[in-house]
Amino acid sequence: MKIVILDGYCLNPGDLSWDGFKELGDCVIYDYTDASEVLQRAKDADVLITNKTVISGDMIRNLPRLKYIGVLATGYNVVDIAAAADCNITVTNIPAYGTDSVAQMTFAHILNILHRIDHYTQENQEGKWQKEGNFCYWDTPLMELAGKKIGIVGMGNTGKAVGRIAKAFGMIVYAYTSGDISSLPSGTIKANLEVLFKECDIVTLHCPLTPDTQGFINKKLLNLMKPTAILINTARGQLINEADLAEALNNNVLYAAGVDVLSTEPPTNDNPLLHARNCFITPHIAWATLEARKRLMKQAENNLKAFLNGNYLNKVN
């Protein structure tokens, strides 16, 4: 059996092992694969493993040996799963491997905005504290979380983890979710989007990208936010209309935004968020802690082992 890993570098830049896959068949590993290279590299594959390399319906229909596609992520929109089903090809994903890491990054962004550690470190390296002549100084707003309202959009595994952390900080937790209120953690306030954006001091996104949610964070919702409010996105970049968010930040409609994801990755130079006021951007690394990547690797191996044994784990089509 031939296994082809199309873009293994992000998961494993050298600090993990592919041995689990190598034990299952003849395994060929590519760091990256351009769209123009997929068919040539995958032509003899029984198994394809992808992270962000797109596997289209046309590609699938031109790979007659292919039996299995494993996605090294939770989102599987890079694969035409309908075409895969038509061709009797199993597609799997990796759910929940990064819950704690993404929740942690959510609060890393929040705490960075509230306390600006890097800003003050840089200023002090340049002598600002020494020149102040006082035992302390600050030139950004400083806020504490206790008593603040946080609105969580999407209450899956990550949303619930964020809610637990928020409660530990003494925050009041609002949630926008399709689930019944009985499914929410005790003390969580279920709200519609308008109420959540209007009432909350911090809004954080943890919902999937669907046709209904693409670009749904737009001018209408942003204009409901407090001028002191913060928006966090560690979910999917396409959830946000980036031009609307940049305009809102630049016009003081809200105070700040922290995002780990953008609509196009890597971003184009003209992405309006790159130079928006108080927009703090990390390069899609919330998922990438060593611990989360180890869990992802092990689950990807287990998904494939189950398939080879005639069973299914995390099948999405």
* Tens digits of residue pLDDT in 34-92: 999 999 999 999 999 999 999 999 999 999 999 999 999 998 989 999 999 999 999 99
- Which of the four CATH numbers 3.40.50.720, 3.40.50.300, 3.60.20.10, 3.40.630.150 does domain 99-281 have? 3.40.50.720
Does CATH place domain 2-96+290-308 in 2.60.40.420?
no
Q: Crossing angle, helix 117-125 and helix 99-115, to 10 degrees?
A: 50
Active site residues: 236, 265, 284
Confidence of residue 155 (pLDDT cuts 50, 70, 90): very high
Supply the pLDDT for residue 181.
87
Quote the pTM value. 0.93
Contact 263, 236 (CB under 8 A): no
The alpha carbon of residue 140 and the mean position of all alpha carbons in its chain are separated, in whole angstroms, by: 28
Domains 2-96+290-308 and 99-281 are alike in CATH topology: yes
Confidence of residue 251 (pLDDT cuts 50, 70, 90): very high
Share of residues in the chain with pLDDT > 90 (%) = 96
Whether the per-residue pLDDT at 133 is higher than 90: the answer is: no
Supply the pLDDT for residue 61.
97
Listed by start position, the domains of the chain span: 2-96+290-308, 99-281
Confidence of residue 179 (pLDDT cuts 50, 70, 90): confident
Supply the pLDDT for residue 182.
86
The alpha carbon of residue 51 and the mean position of all alpha carbons in its chain are separated, in whole angstroms, by: 13
DSSP E strands: which ranges in the chain? 2-5, 26-29, 47-50, 68-71, 90-92, 149-153, 172-176, 189-190, 202-205, 230-233, 256-259, 279-281
Among 154, 244, 153, 160, smallest CA distance to 200 is for 153
